[in-house]
Structure 1
Amino acid sequence: MGNKVGVFTDEQIEAFQDCTFFTKKEILRIFRRFRELAPNAIPKVMSSVDTNRIRLPYQQENPFCERICQVFSEDGTGALSFEDFLDLFSVLSEIAPRELKTVYAFKIYDFDGDNYLGKEDLRSTLRCLTRNELSEEEVEFVVEKVLEETDLDDDGKLSYIEFEHVISRSPDFMTTFHVRI
């Protein structure tokens, strides 16, 4: 079955479907959203090279926007290719499993990339969440309380296992860590 001239070839669509939780229709809808961000820079027809070569710089809409884009961009700069954009939407889709979402949530909060959520990571997270509206004393108070409640081995930082434990007790996680396409 041939694909009339469209955005992607049948092979590209199949590859995207194999790597995500999306149908062809959803992939095309995500591409339209991607293209709307920079219609002059994104071609209407994407070759397999274009889907990873053409990148969009992040745009500030959400306090975690920059950090999310850094985590999902293949090179860590925050500039997203269509494949990066598709991965982001796949992980944040309503049907992505909790385990996958937890891995990416941890990466987003691990600002320094050391595989722990230390005090500075928690401060950065809190500043993003509150848009820098708390005083330094308030930030320190919250960071200490978070560690007091969640740092099970008392090492002053959260490991992935400790973070996963917290997420497993959070009924709102799945409904808040997603985006509709």
Structure 2
Amino acid sequence: MGGTTSKLDESLQKYEDLTYLNFKQIKNCHNRFTDIKKRENVNSGSLVDLTKPVCTYDDLFESVPELGHNPFRDRICDVFSSEQGRKLNFLEFLDICSVFNENASQEAKIKRAFQIFDFDNDGFIGKGDISKVIKTIVPDDSNTNLNITDAVSDQIFKEFGGPEENKLLTKFQVQEMLEKSPEFADNFTFALQ
């Protein structure tokens, strides 16, 4: 048994250099992830298959309320998951925890924020993306959302966008916008308890 824990620790320790997490945080992520699998009779003392999609979004949200309470939870998982069918593997979960860690660089946070807000995955943030961001944050009231969306979109494009006919924001424009937001890094952070 002691050998298994040692192998597990060795396997997890290599992720310290690849993430913004320390060993204790990585071990905590592994424990949280394997807790989900305990319900499916997987031995939690061993290293789970790091690349196999073994966790559904819903199981993850139930077991990790820090993520489950985020209004962008589905979109976050979509961006980090390489699989269809609302599933994540351990490495993808670790990547989420790393980017949302307080020690993650602002550059890494902005890169992932851009991907999360780019709902149509076209490499730009357009009015449709902004509309979906607002609908994710503001409770559904079609008239209110429409008015808010128009006002927010117009202000964003006026301040950060290019020519009037080009209602698309590039990664660099979004980076500039988020760098000017002092609360961005704090809002793009959670810690596993």
Q: Same fold (TM over 0.5)?
A: yes
Quote the offset at 1:79 in angstroms.
1.4
Determine which of 83, 87, 96 is the counterpart of 1:88.
Answer: 96
1:132 has 2:140 as partner = yes
* Change in CA separation of 1:30 and 1:8 when aligned onto 2, cut-off 3 Å: farther
How far residue 77 of structure 1 moved from its aligned partner, in angstroms, is 4.7
The gaps in structure 2 that reach 5 residues or longer are 59-67
Distance 2:36 2:77 in 1: 14
Deviates more, 1:20-29 or 1:166-175: 20-29
Q: Does the alignment pair 1:177 with 2:188?
A: yes
Could you say if the C-alpha distance between residues 38 and 61 of structure 1 is closer, same or farther in structure 2, counting changes exceeding 3 Å? farther
Unaligned runs of 5+ in 1: none
Residue equivalent to 1:30: 29
After TM superposition, the structure 1 = structure 2 runs for residues 62-81 of structure 1, keeping only pairs within 5 Å, are 62-75=70-83, 77-81=85-89
- Measured against aligned partners, the alpha-carbon deviations of 1:38-92 in whole angstroms (never above 9, x if no partner) come to 53135414446x1211421213533201000000112365411111000000011
Identity of aligned residues (%): 26
Q: Which residue of 1 aligns with 2:161?
A: 151
**1:7/1:44 contact within 8 Å kept:** no
C-alpha offsets along residues 8-59 of structure 1, whole Å, 9 cap, x if unaligned?
A: 53442233222112222211111222233453135414446x1211421213
The alignment's TM-score, normalised by the length of structure 2, stands at 0.81
Who is 1:58 aligned against? 57
Residue 108 of structure 1 corresponds to: 116
Q: Which amino acid aligns with 2:182?
A: P
Distance across 2 between alignment mates of 1:112 and 1:76: 16
Cα–Cα, structure 1 residues 44 and 7, in superposed 2: closer, same or farther, change >3 Å? farther
- How many pairs were matched up? 179
Decide whether the 8 Å contact of 1:17 with 1:24 is kept in 2: yes
- Separation in 2, partners of 1:67, 1:100: 17
Higher mean C-alpha deviation, range 141-150 or range 153-162? 141-150
Counterpart residue type for residue 156 of structure 1: K
Alignment TM-score, normalising by the size of structure 1? 0.86
Which structure shows the bigger proportion of residues in helix conformation? 2
Alpha-carbon deviation of 1:174? 1.1
Shift of residue 106 of structure 1?
0.2
Q: Which residue of structure 1 lines up, in the alignment, with residue 61 of structure 2?
A: none
SS for the counterpart of 1:53 is coil
**Conservation of the 8 A alpha-carbon contact between 1:52 and 1:82:** yes
Q: Distance in 1 between matches of 2:84 and 2:171?
A: 20
Q: Structure 1 stretch 166-175 or stretch 57-66: which is displaced more?
A: 57-66
C-alpha contact (below 8 Å) 1:118/1:156 kept by paired residues: yes
Q: 1-side partners of 2:135 and 2:18: how far apart?
A: 34
